[in-house]
A = this chain, B = another copy of it.
Amino acid sequence: MSSGPINSKEGKVLHPDLLNENLKKTQYAVRGELFLKAEELRQAGREIIITNVGNPHQLGAKPLTFTRQVISLCAAPFLLDHPEAAKIFAPDAIARAKELHKAFNGGVGAYQDSRGNTHVRAEVAKFIEDRDGVGPADPNHIFLTDGASPAVRLCLNSILRNENDGILVPIPQYPLYSASIQLLGGTLVPYMLDEDKNWAMDMASLQAAVKQARADGKAVRGLVFINPGNPTGQCLSYDNLKELIKFAYDEKIVLMADEVYQENIYQDERPFVSARKVMKEMGEPYASGVELLSFHTVSKVNVSGVELLSFHTVSKGTGGECGLRGGYVEMNNIHPKTVEELYKICSINLSPNGVGQVAMSCLVNPPKPGSPSFEQHKQEREAELASLRRRARMVTDGFNALEDVSCTFTEGAMYSFPQLKLPAKAIAAAKAAGKAPDVFYCLRLLEETGISTVPGSGFGQAEGTFHLRTTILPREEKMAEFVSKFRDFHEKFLKQYK
């Protein structure tokens, strides 16, 4: 028998009591109790209105034709010069697939550089340059990943050293952050978004959070912000971003900019602006004036400039290619030797998936005006965006029409996050059932209507307030049903408990 530390229990080494502590402590609400209950009902034959996960294709969103033509051809290189293929695929899709197939050196079935294919990284750099208009991005500081989530985890893994390292995370937050920080053994330092100001970043709350964390002996090393917000749907203003960048510079904190919803904007007052653009336009000492350093030529180290990590994905936007798992992190003002360390860690996993990289190529380098697929591609994206805008309005208005519900407008992203003023009797009933009040509400909603949401407690919310998150993704023809079912349930619920 073992003479070392306790190694098994009830005959099991992998006994649930003997697993990694951080892994055990990790919570992940988006696929928590509500999700599992919805699965159970679905398997029992109930029709479920899925609004708990931002997964557009599952609800009938169609993929973009150009993207899928290119992927289809890259997957079947024997079609690239097939005479019949020209009858099915657009000529520019064929041309792009040929270009990528060649650049991939063995095609999508070959491992690429662990940072992602060089050609696609150059396309991403060009996209960022064109988007921001503040000069070139460095392809060697762009890593392609299997969706944005692994990119976030990679960066957190480098930042977090132990439980004394803290990361500022907005409340409410997307639970990728709380889960990853816990799994990696760091500390989440919460800062509150201001619901009364449409979930704006509140600099006073940020400053207070840092001060408190430091008083508790934490090194505050990173700050996550999500723009447009998840689950809160707000778009940050240019001025808000300026304050944030100044704050990061003054306090020496790495900015982690979750910008995966940058295409999902449903109002005209605050178009998406990247943190990178704002930072560059602020000039020194925020922007860093040092020219880009190429990989493996560490000649000069930036001492100025805000350390900024930006994340993007093919999962959201109007393409909604969640299942393809394509994402990237772009690094600004990160020490070149640190970039090397991250490259080393990527290498353990050998290569991000090839198809996700092809999808990324199509996202960042869509058909140009005059090319055969241009009009259709443009029309598909615009139609989906316009529909999402209408749905954002329908959902928000639907919630605001209800008694004791208030909901800020979904300015961007894919979610509504209404606040529910729950009656005291409902809170007592929840307590009696051993549930948090918002969980109690959402479970009842699910059981009675089939609408599957995520309780606000999964994202964090101000003490004593209750929310839930829905996506705005049911197709428009389904949306009226969603709104009316929700209303009927809510009225019944209030009647019972008020």
Which listed residue (B13, B58, B109, B320) contacts A320, Cβ 8 A? B109
Question: What residues of chain B lie closer than 8 Å to A319, measured between beta carbons?
Answer: 109
List the B side residues contacting A370 at CB < 8 Å. none
Which residues of A, 307-366, contact B by the 8 Å Cβ criterion?
307, 319-325, 334-335, 337-338, 340-341, 344-345, 347-356
Q: What are 5 A-B interface contacts by the 8 Å CB criterion?
A: A7-B221, A12-B303, A12-B307, A31-B114, A322-B350
Contact count band on A: 35 or more
A150: interface (CB < 8 Å): yes
Chain B neighbourhood of A165, CB < 8 A: 5
In the complex, which residues of chain B have a beta carbon less than 8 angstroms from the beta carbon of A176?
348
Query: Interface digits, A103-120 against B, CB 8 Å rule (1 contact, 0 not)?
Result: 011111111101000000
- A172–B221 CA distance with the chains assembled, in angstroms: 38
Tell me if A16 counts as interface (CB < 8 A to partner B).
yes
- Chain B residues with Cβ below 8 Å from A69 are 76
Question: Is there contact, CB below 8 Å, between A338 and B19?
Answer: yes
Cβ-based interface call for A496 (8 A):
no
**What are the 4 A-B residue pairs with the smallest beta carbon separation, nearest first?**
A323-B354, A57-B106, A72-B76, A58-B106
Known: A78-B65, A351-B325, A353-B325. A7 touches B106 (CB 8 A): no
Q: Does A36 count as interface, using CB distance less than 8 angstroms?
A: yes
Say how far A251's CB is from chain B's closest CB, in angstroms. Answer: 8
A1-54 residues at the B interface, CB under 8 angstroms: 1-8, 10-16, 18-21, 23-24, 26-28, 30-31, 36, 40, 53
- 7 further A-B contacts with Cβ under 8 Å, apart from A13-B222, A63-B109, A179-B348, are A2-B214, A2-B220, A13-B307, A16-B338, A58-B106, A84-B88, A149-B350
Is A219 positioned at the interface, with any CB of B under 8 Å from its CB? Answer: yes
Whether A7 and B252, one on each chain, are in contact in the complex, defined by CB atoms closer than 8 angstroms, is yes
Residue A160 interfacial (CB < 8 Å):
yes
